[in-house]
């Protein structure tokens, strides 16, 4: 058996392996900065910490406790595995030991993380003289326990979805909690961005409104992975000034961080060896040498495929456990707990996971972390990398890139990744559709006064609109709920609109709902004959009832996925800001009319086109915000119109991928449209729009930092070794003039001139 250091030395001496390495960064060991327990900590808590072998705190933990004890709202921003949990647990428990009537509410983005935190809390409070009740309250909580938690739970651990749909609408059952609420903890704050963050900010507005009704004024404690704008995001979420703590005092063991690009197997088309196969080869080497390894993939299906490959490669005797597990949503809770325990004990040698294990669930100290594809943001990449090397000793984190432009940009620009993060988490609580939906929920919970604010936003016009819609009625200057429906049930925190299409599995005699998609995306994802993937399984859509908002699916096992062709007609309704120079830039409100006319069947792995079929669905309409850039004739010189068109199409392929890197979004959150002669501008124009009704702030941010984004796009295209365009840069070849790479570069030179 070779040690991790011996394997790393072998790779460093292997020319074939090193040919794929674009950066081998050694993050050196750093010593921790420690401080004595703050005076504000209760002596019982100090004794409990000493019993666990903790004699001092990291400097950022002490700073956070001091800030909270002064009554400040506080946000702590330090790397993974830096002990952020104690930053909020210690002041909260200390307060409760002093005043047992105090209550706290903890918000985590996932149920698994909530369960893990309750275990940690119970261990910390087990030796105290004061009995503190710490409970998880989510969809898995047994009905028999719920009344007891509402009545006597000191620390209630839940998630935003449960707070939105099950706690706030029934606040009269939670009087003990809301009257005595002293602290609200929001962990993994960087997860609350885009549409989800816009919803959560409004859920917090509703929470604060109910607290005020019951006479409490809780302090907020937030924690986040490293992002560029933690103070801005935290203030957007809670609408209060905060103290921001960013200096990390935790020690760090030596970590080898490797960016690896699989070898090119077709130089002309720019095709690379599969990232999954490369990750499997690397992980197999580590696991065979008993180096405990976690392998992250981007999808549930990827977990199952990679798990199969690894088990096939691990030659064990019949009946002997390979020690390799999969971990993803869809596994039963007891299966997930058993895997977590096996990782802590060291009985499991390797685990293949989606980002379900990215967040701070305690799985012990792994030796190596392999990421199959870029996790989507620098913050998430460091979160996943932080799963290895949590204690002493050398650890490995490796990202194996796939062929997407986003992946290729990261591995080709390691300084971007290892430098100070430029990622900004964006959300827009005042998105009109999201705001109106939460005003409905808030009105169900408590009446509004005529000139009330909701958070910092004046909502008189929304209240009048809801009265006209017979949702509210006004009496003596107050607006009261009058509908029979229960509004929170209809509103998902993961999409902007209420009009979601539910997906019903009819494989078995008893149909069951397995998911939902927003109405605007439904024609793309769940048209008839589409392959819908859920929990690692494939389903074919038998029928889409668009009027009733239901898609009926049946489980299948096929070797392809489907990709619908979306025709978009974009009209500009209002220009908010514009700038005229060599090119014309603007952002504003647009209307999108989208029609799905056909779909393609694409084979897994090879991405061969296996055929196509028609889609017969009505056009959908969405109002959102967009950034656009237009090219006057003088700027294009002698560039022929066909080349301009090819360049615009190429930029539309790559722009959403690269822009999402700067916005901490998903590439699917943005869409691009090109028009060789746009009706509104009369010029060749490229549009990039927020793929959500009302928009969530992406377009405005792109308008402000467009040069950085277009420079990164140019870098992606110039660094790619293909001849005319490929999936790693501007998309596949086959533009009208036979190529798209050079025209795209010509347009970029015009933009950046």
Q: Give the pLDDT confidence of 177-215 residue by residue, as tens digits.
A: 999 999 999 998 988 988 899 999 999 999 999 999 999
Out of 7-11, 144-148, 312-316, 380-384, least confident range: 312-316
Distance CA 691, CA 747 (A): 24
pLDDT in tens, 90-141: 999 999 999 999 999 999 887 666 777 787 888 888 878 888 889 888 877 8
Residue ranges of alpha helices (H) inside 693-737 are 698-719
State how beta strands 264-266 and 255-260 pair: unpaired
Give yes or no for a contact between 572 and 588, defined as CB atoms under 8 angstroms apart. yes
Q: What is the dihedral of CA 415, 269, 524, 410, to 10 degrees?
A: -10
Rounded to an integer, what is the distance from CA 287 to the centroid of its chain? Answer: 29
Percent of the chain's residues with pLDDT above 90? 52
* Burial class (CB within 10 angstroms; exposed 0-12, middle 13-18, buried 19+) of 131: exposed
Q: Please, which residues bridge with residue 184 across strands?
A: 105, 220
Distance CA 571, CA 687 (A): 10
Which residue reads 């620390």 in tokens? 155
59-75 burial string, b = 16+ CB within 10 Å, else e?
Answer: bbbbbbbbbbbeebbbb
More confident residue, 354 or 590: 590
Which tokens sit at 515?
Answer: 């998911």
Distance CA 520, CA 249 (A): 46
Rounded to an integer, what is the distance from CA 601 to the centroid of its chain? Answer: 28
Q: What is the CA radius of gyration of the chain?
A: 27
pLDDT, the chain, mean = 88
Give me the pLDDT at residue 213, please: 97
366-380 burial string, b = 16+ CB within 10 Å, else e?
Answer: bbbbbbbbbbbbbbb
Give me the pLDDT at residue 753, please: 84
Give me the pLDDT at residue 420, please: 65
Question: Which strand (E) or helix (H) includes residue 9?
Answer: helix 4-12
pLDDT at 736 over 50: no
Which tokens sit at 383?
Answer: 């979160």
**Sequence-distant (≥ 6) Cβ neighbours of residue 490 within 8 angstroms:** 498
Distances (CA, A) of 87 to 60, 128, 226, 341, 672: 8, 19, 16, 25, 42
Q: Please, which residues bridge with residue 125 across strands?
A: none
pLDDT in tens, 157-177: 999 999 999 999 999 999 999
Closest by CA to 380, choosing from 660, 668, 68, is 660
More confident residue, 477 or 73: 73
Closest by CA to 375, choosing from 354, 346, 405, 351, is 354
Q: What is the CATH number of domain 4-28+253-402?
A: 3.40.50.300
542-568 burial string, b = 16+ CB within 10 Å, else e?
Answer: eebebeeebbbbeeeeeebbbbbebeb
Percent of the chain's residues with pLDDT above 70? 93
Residue ranges of alpha helices (H) inside 498-617 are 522-525
Out of 190-204, 256-270, 634-648, least confident range: 256-270
pLDDT in tens, 586-631: 999 999 998 888 988 887 656 678 888 888 888 888 899 999 999 9
Task: Give the 3-state secondary structure of 274-329.
Answer: CHHHHHHHHHHHHHHCCCCEEEECCCHHHHHHHHHHHHHHCCCCCCCCCCEEEECE
Which residue reads 């365009």 in tokens? 725
Give me the pLDDT at residue 722, please: 80
Q: How confident is the model at residue 731 (pLDDT cuts 50, 70, 90)?
A: confident
pLDDT in tens, 508-533: 888 888 877 777 778 888 889 988 87
Distance CA 206, CA 279 (A): 45
Give me the pLDDT at residue 401, please: 94
Distances (CA, A) of 129 to 98, 124, 134, 181, 572: 11, 12, 15, 22, 65
pLDDT in tens, 441-470: 999 999 999 889 999 999 999 999 999 999
pLDDT in tens, 45-61: 999 899 888 999 999 99
Distance CA 440, CA 447 (A): 10
pLDDT at 578 over 80: yes
Closest by CA to 218, choosing from 241, 185, 170, is 185
Give yes or no for a contact between 536 and 578, defined as CB atoms under 8 angstroms apart. no
What is the domain class of 34-245 according to CATH?
alpha beta
pLDDT at 737 over 50: no
- CATH architecture of the domain 571-594+621-753 equals 2-Layer Sandwich (3.30)
Q: How confident is the model at residue 340 (pLDDT cuts 50, 70, 90)?
A: confident
Average pLDDT over residues 261-287: 87
């Amino acid at each position: 058996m070779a040690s991790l250091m011996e394997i790393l030395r072998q790779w460093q001496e292997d020319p074939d392996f090193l040919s794929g390495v674009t950066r081998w960064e050694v993050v050196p060991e750093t010593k921790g900065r420690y401080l004595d327990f703050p005076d504000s900590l209760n002596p019982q808590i100090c004794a409990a910490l000493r019993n666990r072998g903790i004699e001092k705190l990291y400097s950022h933990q002490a700073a956070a406790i001091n800030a909270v004890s002064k009554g400040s709202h506080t946000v702590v921003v330090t790397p993974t595995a830096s002990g952020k949990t104690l930053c909020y647990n210690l002041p909260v428990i200390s307060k409760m030991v002093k005043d047992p009537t105090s209550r706290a509410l903890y918000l985590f983005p996932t149920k698994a993380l909530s369960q893990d935190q309750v275990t940690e809390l119970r261990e910390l409070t087990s030796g105290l003289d004061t009995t503190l009740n710490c409970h998880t309250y989510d969809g898995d909580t047994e009905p028999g326990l719920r009344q007891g938690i509402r009545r006597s739970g000191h620390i209630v651990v839940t998630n935003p979805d449960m707070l939105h749909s099950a706690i706030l609408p029934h606040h009269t059952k939670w009087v003990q909690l809301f009257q005595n609420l002293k602290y609200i903890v929001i962990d993994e704050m960087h997860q609350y961005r885009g549409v989800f963050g816009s919803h959560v900010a409004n859920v917090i507005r509703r929470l604060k409104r109910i607290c005020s009704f019951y006479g409490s004024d809780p302090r907020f404690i937030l924690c986040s992975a490293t992002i560029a704008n933690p103070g801005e995001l935290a203030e957007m979420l809670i609408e209060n000034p905060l103290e921001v703590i960013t200096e990390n005092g935790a020690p760090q063991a030596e970590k080898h961080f490797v960016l690896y690009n699989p070898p090119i197997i077709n130089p002309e088309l720019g095709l690379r060896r599969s990232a999954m196969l490369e990750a499997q080869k690397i992980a197999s080497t580590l696991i065979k040498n008993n180096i405990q390894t976690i392998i992250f993939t981007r999808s549930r299906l990827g977990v199952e495929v990679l798990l199969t490959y690894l088990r096939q490669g691990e030659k064990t005797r019949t009946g002997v456990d390979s020690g390799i597990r999969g971990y993803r949503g869809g596994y039963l809770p007891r299966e997930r707990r058993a895997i977590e325990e096996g990782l802590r004990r060291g009985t499991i040698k390797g685990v293949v996971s989606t980002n379900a294990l990215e967040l701070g669930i305690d799985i012990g100290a792994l030796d190596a972390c392999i990421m199959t594809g870029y996790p989507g943001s620098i913050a998430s990449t460091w979160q996943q990398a932080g799963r290895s090397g949590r204690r002493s000793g050398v650890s490995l984190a490796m990202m194996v890139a796939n062929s997407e432009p986003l992946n290729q940009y990261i591995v080709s620009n390691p300084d971007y990744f290892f430098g100070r993060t430029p990622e900004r988490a964006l959300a827009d609580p005042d998105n009109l559709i999201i705001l109106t939906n939460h005003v409905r929920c808030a009105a169900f919970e408590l009446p509004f006064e005529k000139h009330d604010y909701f958070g910092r936003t004046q909502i008189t016009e929304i209240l009048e609109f809801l009265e006209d819609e017979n949702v509210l009625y006004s009496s003596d200057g107050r607006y009261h709920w009058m509908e029979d429906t229960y509004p929170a049930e209809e509103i998902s925190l993961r999409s902007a609109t209420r009009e979601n299409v539910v997906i019903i599995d009819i494989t078995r005699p008893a149909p069951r709902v397995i998911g939902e998609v927003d109405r605007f995306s439904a024609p793309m994802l769940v048209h008839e004959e589409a392959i819908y993937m859920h929990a690692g399984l494939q389903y074919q859509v038998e029928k889409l009832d668009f009027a009733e908002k239901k898609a009926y699916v049946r489980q299948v096992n096929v070797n392809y996925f489907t990709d619908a062709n979306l025709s978009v007609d974009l009209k500009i309704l209002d220009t908010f800001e514009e700038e005229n120079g060599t090119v014309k830039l603007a952002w504003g409100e647009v209307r999108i009319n989208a029609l799905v006319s056909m779909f393609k069947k694409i084979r897994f792995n090879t991405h061969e086109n296996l055929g196509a079929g028609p889609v017969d669905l009505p056009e959908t309409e969405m109002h959102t915000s967009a950034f656009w850039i237009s090219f006057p004739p003088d700027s294009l010189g002698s560039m022929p119109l066909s080349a301009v068109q090819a360049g615009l199409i190429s930029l539309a392929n790559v722009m959403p991928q690269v822009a999402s890197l700067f916005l901490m979004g998903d590439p699917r959150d943005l869409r691009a449209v090109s028009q060789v002669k746009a009706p509104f501008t009369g010029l060749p124009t490229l549009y990039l729009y927020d793929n959500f009704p009302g928009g969530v702030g992406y377009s405005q941010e792109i308008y402000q930092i467009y040069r950085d984004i277009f420079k990164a796009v140019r870098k992606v295209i110039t660094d790619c070794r293909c001849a005319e365009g490929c999936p790693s840069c501007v998309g596949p070849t086959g533009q009208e003039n036979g190529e798209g790479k050079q025209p795209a570069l010509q347009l970029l030179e015009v933009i950046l001139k």
